[in-house]
Amino acid sequence: MTLKNASILVVDDDTDVLTAVRLLLKTEAKEVVTEKNPQLLHQLLGARKFDVILLDMNFTSSINTGNEGLFWLRKIRELKSEAAVIMITAYGDVDLAVRSLKDGASDFVVKPWHNDRLIGTIKEVLKKKEGISPAADPVAGNIIGAELLGESEIMKAIFYKVEKIAPTDANILILGENGTGKDLVAKAIHQYSLRASKPFVKVDVGALTDSLFESELFGHKKGAFTDAREDRAGRFEAANGGTIFLDEIGNISLQQQAKLLSVLQNRQVIRIGSNTPVPIDVRLVCATNLPIAELANESRFRKDLIYRINTVEIIMPPLRKRGKDIILLANHFNQLYSRKYLKPLLRFDEAAVEKLLQYPFPGNVRELQYTIERAVIMAEGDQLKAADLLFSPIEFATESSEEPDEMKLSAIEKNTILKVIEKHNGNITKAARELGLTRTALYRRLSKYDI
């Protein structure tokens, strides 16, 4: 079915949204019906059939949780409606919108949306409804699928979230441990955005001293300080029209935070040595390895800056939480370094696979990458064996040397198994799934460690 032949129902308690969608779709669709009150869904769906329903996620101003949308989504399904449901959500409810897909929604759009994006989403949903495969995304196969890999449910949810929020101009905060791929997610957001043809500028702000911070980010005029031999645009100006990625944002000082906040609020920079403001138009993406609770400590980080940079947050999972993604990534790095070092493609033997799945990877994907590179270099024959996989002791270095047993891989593995089993209240099936093991393999380890 094409959009021209489709009947569309829009349910939202915001009359401005209803008017905007009706005006947008009245020349695109066969019929557009709008309704403020979701309690009339039963009556509407009983009287006629709709091909697509656009359903808001929040109807009660005092309860802004998105649960209302999920409730009415379930009601639509109970009414046996064949309409495809597209959820309408705000930035802060993206996680709930992703959950709505598991409850039967076909897709979701984020307010405020771009009109062409909304129309495109409706068309894709109609194609899926008719069993027609949608056209391949022009950016698919770039970073996501080429560098940023994953088949686990947790990574699929992140990929989908990136695809949906990237076309907006929402500021993004990426959280996660070192080595989890936060920089790749930032690049993917830029690639999927409407700014993809414009610059992507990365700055490791945590490494900038107070004296360099302003000059690097905001630029300077010739003669503004010693060694300022010419006018120089800062990174914000260099990223104008595109995306600026501020990595390690949690490590900047309170003084630097105040200067950054001023630029973000005013949407302009003033070069050192100048009084002339320069307007900037950038999409801001930030990343940090600090937990959000630590950022909320006002002695360390300004809350007004957190709100400014954290319209939507993406939490990158540690590699140990990603199950068999470990093997997927290991094969990717194996191919990469086999080509680089002019070796035939090596095959992981069973013991090597088991060793990779057992190891907790405190250094995450970065540690796995270096581990596989070393293994490819040192391997003999056509196989990568368990003995070729040498994990870095750097990741387990501690200030205390009084408990050397805790440095042993066996002790780390035992402690990890105990924590996961405790987390799942003794449920072996769930524990094995989180550890990326079969039940049989987990029972072997329980016997081995006398647990």
Give the CATH number of the domain where residue 204 resides.
3.40.50.300
State whether residue 220 is helix, strand or coil.
strand
pLDDT band at 295 (very low <50, low <70, confident <90, very high): confident
CATH number of the domain enclosing 328: 1.10.8.60
Q: What is the pLDDT of residues 208-251, one digit of tens each?
A: 888 789 889 998 888 777 677 788 889 999 999 999 999 999 99
Structure tokens belonging to residue 248: 């390690």
Does 359 share its domain with 410? Answer: no
Q: How far apart are CA 214 and CA 204, in angstroms?
A: 13
Burial 36-63 (b: 16+ CB within 10 A, else e): eebeebeebbeeeebbbbbbbbbbeeee
High-pLDDT (> 90) share of the chain, %: 46
Q: What is the pLDDT of residues 319-345, one digit of tens each?
A: 999 999 999 999 999 999 999 998 888
The answer to the question of residue 356 being in a domain is: yes
The pairing of strands 268-270 and 277-279 is antiparallel
Last-in-domain residue among 373, 396, 419: 396
Range of the domain at 307: 153-315
pLDDT band at 80 (very low <50, low <70, confident <90, very high): confident
Last-in-domain residue among 95, 114, 129: 129
First to last CA, the chain: 58
Last-in-domain residue among 269, 291, 315: 315
Q: Do the beta carbons of residue 215 and residue 260 sit within 8 Å? A: no
Q: What is the pLDDT of residues 138-164, one digit of tens each?
A: 444 478 888 899 999 999 989 988 988
Mean pLDDT of the chain: 85
Q: How far apart are CA 286 and CA 302, in angstroms?
A: 15
pTM: 0.70
Does 310 share its domain with 243? Answer: yes
Structure tokens belonging to residue 414: 């035992």
Report DSSP state, residue 196. T
Q: How far apart are CA 273 and CA 70, in angstroms?
A: 54
The answer to the question of residue 372 being in a domain is: yes
Q: What is the pLDDT of residues 181-203, one digit of tens each?
A: 999 999 999 999 889 999 999 99
Structure tokens belonging to residue 437: 């093991």
Does 358 share its domain with 281? Answer: no
pLDDT band at 135 (very low <50, low <70, confident <90, very high): very low
Structurally, the chain folds into a number of domains equal to 4
Does 165 share its domain with 88? Answer: no
| pLDDT value, residue 408 | 55
| pLDDT value, residue 132 | 55
CATH number of the domain enclosing 93: 3.40.50.2300
Where do the DSSP E strands lie in 111-189? 172-175
The answer to the question of residue 143 being in a domain is: no
What would the mean pLDDT of 62-69 be, rounded to a whole number? 64
Does 213 share its domain with 286? Answer: yes
Structure tokens belonging to residue 103: 């409850």
